[in-house]
Amino acid sequence: MEQYIEFAGNNPVLSMAWLAIVTMLLVITIKSKLSKIKEINNQQLTLLVNRENGVIVDIRSDSDFKKGHIIGSKQVSIEKITNNELTSLEKEKANPIIVVCAAGMSASKAASNLAKSGFEQVSILKGGFAAWQGANLPVAK
């Protein structure tokens, strides 16, 4: 224990950086556990769609959507979600909504906007469409 205190005293910048990183990791972990928006995998997506009438919302561009998308998904641009232009999804507010992007990175902003708009169960596909294709699951064109 004395060595840690001595190290912290001799290296205050490194100690503060380490403390900041640990704090950020804790905040991110706690925030993700308490969030309404859950990250789901391919199997959970299939179960939500088949058992609970889940709706897949693909936020990729029109050209990417036309090249290939998850069967039954609806293409809604991120701009429409941000501007709250959700007429195509209004009747789906009680159903689970699964947001899919290209690689699972940009779906969280769209999902949080959907949750703020009154959608009750919003999820994100972990790994996005790339994970779906990587698992050789069916794709429509």
* Residues carrying an active site annotation: 101
Encoded tokens for 115: 């949750």
Encoded tokens for 8: 């912290």
- Asked if 125 and 42 touch (Cβ cutoff 8 Å), the reply is yes
Distance CA 112, CA 41 (A): 18
Distance CA 48, CA 44 (A): 6
